[in-house]
Amino acid sequence: MEHTRDEDVNSVPDIIYDSHTRTQYKKGRFFGKGGFAKCYEITNTLTNHTFAGKIVSKKLMAKQNQKEKNDPGDTDSPIDTSQKWKALTEPETRYYMKQILNGVNYLHSNRIIHRDLKLGNLFLNDELVVKIGDFGLAAKIEYDGERKKTLCGTPNYIAPEILNKKGHSFEVDIWSMGCIMYTLLIGRPPFETNSLKETYSRIKKCDYRISSNISASAKHMIMLMLQPEPTSRPTCDQLLRHDFILGYCPANLPVSCLTMAPRFDNLEISSRKPLIELNNAEATLISPHKKHDSIAAGLVLKSKPARPHKFLDEMSDPAAQPMVWVSKWVDYSDKYGFGYQLSDEGVGVMFNDTTKLIMLPNGINVHYVDKNGDESYMTVDNYPRQYDKKMKLLSYFSRYMREHLIKTGASVVKEIDSMSRTPHLHQWCRSTSGVLMQLNNGTVQVSAI
């Protein structure tokens, strides 16, 4: 597999010259290979603007209709979202879905069907702005009522009318966006199975199940988009006015949300209660075809972050997480637990019963993480009385480290915005020569004794 990838990289020159615009690009990282093309990071050598460059075989480019579909997409930092994202919170999903809907609405207003909308074709720049890419299967509707007949798309996102060869139009993109929204909230596509035949069978029967842990409006919007009859699906304009989309939506998101769920404890409760329920890991499933109880919307100050502890490649990009490390630590585990101070001035204690308290750098806000990983948000002056002893210990650890220990790396502190979730100690172990610490964002640190 690695040999094939090397061949792909070597087949494209390091410097790419566009004779039409007299522009020179420098080839960068190899992102991946699809059915029609290869994708690289390319940089304009004159302006230093970075793009996701789609490199297509000249044999395919000989077909005029393919040539028109393969312009590179401008993006500062292309990210294959299907690899980066796990299950997201509802505010994050709303943030991305609004952008996707607006983008697809623009395409439809210009009579273009994308026909291959999926997480792998969505890109994010450094500000987490969504860019829709890969128009290799896109088609233009030339007249009202035209139905395309081509069998195309990606198995987990393909609409039933394409499989049934009944002809298709704009509605296939609505179906695909329903699959995208489901995947963002649940963490896997709605019709995914171990076999292509079974996946297609479920799509044709519209056989999928929805977690009971997402809000009623989110379920309703997904079910509207995943209607088996194309004419029953709403348009992009209608979806942009749906109750779910009109709920609380952050103006922007921190880049750290690619690895850790953002914080929403700093929100003020307004007259219109925002739908910001966060997802639990254990999901009870219900059928979309059966009646179910609605879920009340409200501000949640107790939650479980939607990112599972899986420290793999998605943790490797330094830009995807705040630059935070343990700058001080004290081992008092013979009585209470392990205390530490982070480089951003936050302080935490991992108690012997595996519960955790984290005081944010402002010295006011505190996160409590119980044995099951559920978080509660409070302040140093306003917290449940059952946490009284642990809050006093947190204060003691903080004071001791401030007065007796020297901070390391103090000159390289990176400011974190109010929505970034401060990492906390996930696990630690100590030997005679040092301490090994792992934060819940995947950072591993060794401190010699």
The 3-class SS string of 288-328 reads: CCCCCCCCCCCCCCEECCCCCCCCCHHHCCHHHCCCCCEEE
Contacts of 75 (CB under 8 A, 6+ apart): 50, 51, 52, 123, 124, 125, 131, 133
Using CB atoms within 10 Å of the CB of residue 239, give its burial: 0 to 12 exposed, 13 to 18 middle, 19+ buried.
Answer: buried
The total of other beta-carbon atoms located within 10 Å of residue 135's CB is 20
The total of other beta-carbon atoms located within 10 Å of residue 191's CB is 24
CA angle 208, 212, 215 (to 5 degrees): 105
Buried b / exposed e along 144-169 (16+ C-beta atoms within 10 A) = eeeebeeebbbebbbbbbbbeeeebb
For the CA atoms of 114, 116, 119, 120, the dihedral, rounded to the nearest 10 degrees, stands at: -110
**Cα(183)–Cα(341) distance, integer angstroms:** 36
CA 259 → CA 121, 232, 313, 377, distances in Å?
Answer: 20, 37, 11, 20
Rg, Å, the chain Cα set: 25
Contact 343, 413 (CB under 8 A): yes
Structure-token pair, residue 289: 């075809």
Note the maximum CA span of the chain.
Answer: 77
The residue assigned the tokens 């502190």 is 413
Contact 250, 419 (CB under 8 A): yes
Going by the DSSP 8-state scheme, the letter that residue 378 receives in this structure is: E
DSSP of 114-169: ----SGGGEEE-TT--EEE---TT-EE--STT--B----S-GGG--HHHHTTS-B-
Distance of CA 202 to the CA centre of its chain: 26
Nearest to 164, CA basis, from 228, 235, 234? 228
Nearest to 51, CA basis, from 34, 28, 17, 69? 28
Torsional class of 35: left (φ above 0), alpha (ψ -120 to 50), beta (otherwise): alpha
116 is an active site residue: yes
The catalytically annotated residue of 14, 74, 116, 353 is 116
Would you please indicate which residues are annotated as catalytic (active-site) residues? 116
